[in-house]
A and B are shown apart, each in its own frame.
Chain A
Amino acid sequence: GQSLEQPSEVTAVEGAIVQINCTYQTSGFYGLSWYQQHDGGAPTFLSYNALDGLEETGRFSSFLSRSDSYGYLLLQELQMKDSASYFCAAAGEGSNYQLIWGAGTKLIIKP
Protein backbone atom coordinates (compact mmCIF):
# COMPACT_ATOMS: atom_id res chain seq x y z
CA GLY A 1 0.00 0.00 0.00
CA GLN A 2 0.90 3.64 -0.13
CA SER A 3 1.04 5.78 2.95
CA LEU A 4 2.63 8.80 4.54
CA GLU A 5 3.07 8.85 8.28
CA GLN A 6 3.43 11.99 10.35
CA PRO A 7 2.77 12.80 14.01
CA SER A 8 -0.78 13.84 14.74
CA GLU A 9 0.15 16.75 16.98
CA VAL A 10 3.22 18.76 17.95
CA THR A 11 3.42 21.47 20.61
CA ALA A 12 6.07 24.20 20.72
CA VAL A 13 6.71 27.57 22.26
CA GLU A 14 6.61 30.88 20.41
CA GLY A 15 10.06 31.79 19.12
CA ALA A 16 11.31 28.19 19.21
CA ILE A 17 12.18 25.75 16.43
CA VAL A 18 10.05 22.71 15.61
CA GLN A 19 10.55 19.77 13.24
CA ILE A 20 7.66 17.82 11.72
CA ASN A 21 8.67 14.43 10.38
CA CYS A 22 7.18 12.45 7.53
CA THR A 23 7.96 8.91 6.46
CA TYR A 24 6.51 7.59 3.27
CA GLN A 25 5.85 4.34 1.52
CA THR A 26 4.96 4.83 -2.13
CA SER A 27 6.04 3.47 -5.47
CA GLY A 28 7.07 5.75 -8.29
CA PHE A 29 8.21 8.42 -5.86
CA TYR A 30 8.94 11.77 -7.47
CA GLY A 31 9.24 14.14 -4.54
CA LEU A 32 7.78 15.33 -1.26
CA SER A 33 5.58 18.40 -0.87
CA TRP A 34 4.54 20.27 2.26
CA TYR A 35 1.32 22.22 2.72
CA GLN A 36 -0.05 24.37 5.54
CA GLN A 37 -3.74 24.51 6.38
CA HIS A 38 -5.32 26.80 8.96
CA ASP A 39 -8.59 25.74 10.56
CA GLY A 40 -11.40 26.35 8.08
CA GLY A 41 -8.96 27.35 5.35
CA ALA A 42 -7.57 25.78 2.21
CA PRO A 43 -4.15 24.09 2.01
CA THR A 44 -1.37 26.40 0.88
CA PHE A 45 1.88 25.20 -0.67
CA LEU A 46 5.05 25.58 1.40
CA SER A 47 7.83 23.61 -0.28
CA TYR A 48 8.80 20.73 -2.53
CA ASN A 49 11.87 18.46 -2.43
CA ALA A 50 12.68 16.37 -5.48
CA LEU A 51 16.30 15.76 -4.51
CA ASP A 52 17.99 14.78 -1.27
CA GLY A 53 18.97 17.64 0.96
CA LEU A 54 17.65 20.79 2.53
CA GLU A 55 15.56 23.46 0.85
CA GLU A 56 15.25 26.76 2.70
CA THR A 57 12.51 29.34 2.24
CA GLY A 58 12.61 32.04 4.86
CA ARG A 59 11.70 30.65 8.29
CA PHE A 60 10.70 27.32 6.78
CA SER A 61 13.04 24.59 5.55
CA SER A 62 12.30 21.13 4.20
CA PHE A 63 14.55 18.10 4.02
CA LEU A 64 14.40 14.87 2.04
CA SER A 65 16.30 11.60 2.26
CA ARG A 66 15.21 9.22 -0.50
CA SER A 67 17.29 6.37 0.86
CA ASP A 68 15.46 6.58 4.20
CA SER A 69 12.02 7.40 2.67
CA TYR A 70 11.95 10.29 5.09
CA GLY A 71 11.53 14.00 5.10
CA TYR A 72 10.86 16.79 7.53
CA LEU A 73 9.63 20.34 7.70
CA LEU A 74 11.56 22.69 9.97
CA LEU A 75 9.92 25.85 11.24
CA GLN A 76 12.10 28.46 12.93
CA GLU A 77 11.29 31.52 15.03
CA LEU A 78 7.79 30.23 15.57
CA GLN A 79 4.99 32.77 15.54
CA MET A 80 1.43 32.32 16.80
CA LYS A 81 0.19 32.56 13.21
CA ASP A 82 2.09 29.34 12.45
CA SER A 83 -0.51 27.43 14.45
CA ALA A 84 -2.04 25.23 11.76
CA SER A 85 -2.03 21.72 10.36
CA TYR A 86 0.90 20.69 8.20
CA PHE A 87 0.63 17.99 5.56
CA CYS A 88 3.28 16.09 3.67
CA ALA A 89 2.25 14.76 0.26
CA ALA A 90 3.91 12.61 -2.39
CA ALA A 91 3.15 11.40 -5.90
CA GLY A 92 1.72 7.91 -5.70
CA GLU A 93 1.81 4.58 -7.47
CA GLY A 94 1.85 4.71 -11.22
CA SER A 95 1.11 8.37 -11.31
CA ASN A 96 3.02 11.57 -11.20
CA TYR A 97 -0.12 13.67 -10.85
CA GLN A 98 -2.00 12.00 -8.04
CA LEU A 99 -0.76 13.31 -4.71
CA ILE A 100 -1.11 11.01 -1.71
CA TRP A 101 -1.40 12.99 1.53
CA GLY A 102 -0.51 12.28 5.11
CA ALA A 103 -3.17 12.79 7.78
CA GLY A 104 -1.56 16.03 8.89
CA THR A 105 0.26 17.30 11.96
CA LYS A 106 -1.52 19.85 14.12
CA LEU A 107 1.03 22.37 15.38
CA ILE A 108 0.06 24.02 18.65
CA ILE A 109 2.11 27.05 19.64
CA LYS A 110 2.10 28.31 23.19
CA PRO A 111 3.14 31.84 24.18
Chain B
Amino acid sequence: DTGVSQDPRHKITKRGQNVTFRCDPISEHNRLYWYRQTLGQGPEFLTYFQNEAQLEKSRLLSDRFSAERPKGSFSTLEIQRTEQGDSAMYLCASSWQGTGTTSEQYFGPGTRLTVT
Protein backbone atom coordinates (compact mmCIF):
# COMPACT_ATOMS: atom_id res chain seq x y z
CA ASP B 1 0.00 0.00 0.00
CA THR B 2 1.47 3.31 -1.06
CA GLY B 3 -0.53 5.57 1.20
CA VAL B 4 -3.70 7.63 1.04
CA SER B 5 -4.81 8.56 -2.47
CA GLN B 6 -7.32 11.15 -3.61
CA ASP B 7 -9.01 11.74 -6.91
CA PRO B 8 -9.15 14.09 -8.70
CA ARG B 9 -6.14 16.16 -7.73
CA HIS B 10 -7.63 19.30 -9.24
CA LYS B 11 -11.21 20.27 -10.01
CA ILE B 12 -12.48 23.45 -11.61
CA THR B 13 -16.22 23.90 -11.59
CA LYS B 14 -18.78 26.62 -12.12
CA ARG B 15 -20.79 27.99 -9.25
CA GLY B 16 -23.94 25.98 -8.70
CA GLN B 17 -22.55 22.70 -9.97
CA ASN B 18 -22.15 19.56 -7.86
CA VAL B 19 -18.75 17.95 -7.34
CA THR B 20 -17.66 14.65 -5.83
CA PHE B 21 -14.24 13.71 -4.54
CA ARG B 22 -12.90 10.27 -3.72
CA CYS B 23 -10.47 9.15 -1.05
CA ASP B 24 -8.82 5.75 -0.76
CA PRO B 25 -7.26 5.37 2.70
CA ILE B 26 -4.47 3.06 3.73
CA SER B 27 -6.12 -0.35 3.53
CA GLU B 28 -5.74 -1.44 7.16
CA HIS B 29 -6.88 1.91 8.58
CA ASN B 30 -10.31 1.97 10.15
CA ARG B 31 -10.59 5.74 10.63
CA LEU B 32 -11.03 8.27 7.85
CA TYR B 33 -11.20 12.05 8.08
CA TRP B 34 -12.05 14.86 5.71
CA TYR B 35 -10.56 18.34 6.11
CA ARG B 36 -10.65 21.59 4.20
CA GLN B 37 -7.63 23.88 4.02
CA THR B 38 -7.31 27.38 2.65
CA LEU B 39 -4.08 29.25 2.02
CA GLY B 40 -2.27 30.26 5.19
CA GLN B 41 -4.56 28.30 7.47
CA GLY B 42 -4.46 24.95 9.18
CA PRO B 43 -6.74 22.13 8.08
CA GLU B 44 -10.36 22.54 9.20
CA PHE B 45 -12.12 19.36 10.31
CA LEU B 46 -15.17 18.43 8.23
CA THR B 47 -16.15 14.90 9.17
CA TYR B 48 -14.90 11.57 10.50
CA PHE B 49 -15.70 7.90 9.88
CA GLN B 50 -14.89 4.84 11.89
CA ASN B 51 -15.28 1.95 9.48
CA GLU B 52 -18.52 2.76 7.60
CA ALA B 53 -20.11 4.84 10.37
CA GLN B 54 -19.96 8.63 10.17
CA LEU B 55 -19.39 9.46 13.82
CA GLU B 56 -18.72 13.18 13.74
CA LYS B 57 -19.53 16.10 11.51
CA SER B 58 -18.40 19.66 12.01
CA ARG B 59 -21.11 21.99 13.26
CA LEU B 60 -19.79 24.49 10.73
CA LEU B 61 -20.44 22.15 7.83
CA SER B 62 -23.19 23.25 5.48
CA ASP B 63 -25.89 20.76 4.56
CA ARG B 64 -24.63 21.10 0.99
CA PHE B 65 -21.77 18.83 2.05
CA SER B 66 -22.26 15.10 2.41
CA ALA B 67 -19.83 12.25 2.84
CA GLU B 68 -20.09 8.49 2.64
CA ARG B 69 -17.94 5.49 3.32
CA PRO B 70 -20.24 2.70 2.18
CA LYS B 71 -18.09 -0.36 2.80
CA GLY B 72 -15.67 1.03 5.31
CA SER B 73 -12.99 1.38 2.66
CA PHE B 74 -12.99 4.33 0.23
CA SER B 75 -14.96 7.49 0.95
CA THR B 76 -16.62 10.17 -1.15
CA LEU B 77 -17.25 13.81 -0.33
CA GLU B 78 -19.94 15.58 -2.33
CA ILE B 79 -20.55 19.30 -2.44
CA GLN B 80 -23.86 20.35 -3.92
CA ARG B 81 -24.59 23.76 -5.46
CA THR B 82 -20.98 24.88 -5.12
CA GLU B 83 -20.20 28.44 -4.08
CA GLN B 84 -17.03 30.46 -4.61
CA GLY B 85 -16.35 30.19 -0.89
CA ASP B 86 -16.00 26.43 -1.30
CA SER B 87 -12.73 26.94 -3.19
CA ALA B 88 -10.07 25.24 -1.08
CA MET B 89 -7.86 22.17 -0.78
CA TYR B 90 -9.87 19.17 0.43
CA LEU B 91 -7.70 16.75 2.36
CA CYS B 92 -8.43 13.18 3.35
CA ALA B 93 -6.57 11.41 6.14
CA SER B 94 -6.71 7.97 7.68
CA SER B 95 -5.47 6.29 10.83
CA TRP B 96 -5.65 2.99 12.67
CA GLN B 97 -6.67 2.99 16.28
CA GLY B 98 -8.71 0.53 18.29
CA THR B 99 -9.40 2.86 21.16
CA GLY B 100 -8.27 6.21 22.40
CA THR B 101 -7.60 9.50 20.75
CA THR B 102 -6.53 10.36 17.29
CA SER B 103 -2.94 11.46 17.11
CA GLU B 104 -1.14 10.21 14.01
CA GLN B 105 -3.04 10.69 10.80
CA TYR B 106 -1.80 9.96 7.30
CA PHE B 107 -2.85 12.52 4.72
CA GLY B 108 -3.51 12.19 1.03
CA PRO B 109 -2.24 14.74 -1.52
CA GLY B 110 -5.57 16.58 -1.51
CA THR B 111 -8.04 17.74 -4.14
CA ARG B 112 -7.79 21.41 -5.03
CA LEU B 113 -11.23 22.79 -5.84
CA THR B 114 -11.67 26.06 -7.72
CA VAL B 115 -15.20 27.39 -8.09
CA THR B 116 -15.55 30.05 -10.79
Contact = CB atoms under 8 A, between A and B. Distances in A.
Interface of A: 4, 30-31, 33, 41-45, 48, 50, 87, 89, 91-92, 95-104
B100 interface: yes
A89 B41 CA distance: 12
Interface string B28-72: 000101000000111111001010000110100000000000000
Contacts of A96: 100-102
Nearest to B4: A42
B106 A45 contact: yes
Nearest to A42: B107
A104 B40 contact: yes
A102 B44 CA distance: 10
Contacts of A104: 40-42
B25 interface: no
Interface residues of B, number: 26
Given A91-B102, A97-B101, 19 more contacts: A31-B101, A42-B107, A42-B109, A43-B107, A48-B103, A91-B101, A95-B56, A96-B101, A96-B102, A97-B31, A97-B33, A97-B55, A98-B45, A99-B45, A100-B45, A101-B42, A101-B44, A101-B45, A102-B42
B42 A97 contact: no
B113 interface: no
Which residue of B41, B44, B102 has the most chain A CB atoms within 10 A of its CB atom?
Answer: B102
A102 B102 CA distance: 16
Interface of B: 31, 33, 40-45, 48, 50, 55-56, 58, 91, 93, 100-110
B107 A103 contact: no
Given A42-B108, A42-B110, A95-B56, A101 B102 contact: no
A31 B102 CA distance: 9
A98 B44 contact: no
Of the listed residues B33, B48, B107, B110, the one surrounded by the most CB atoms of chain A closer than 10 A to its CB is: B107
B57 to A, nearest CB: 9
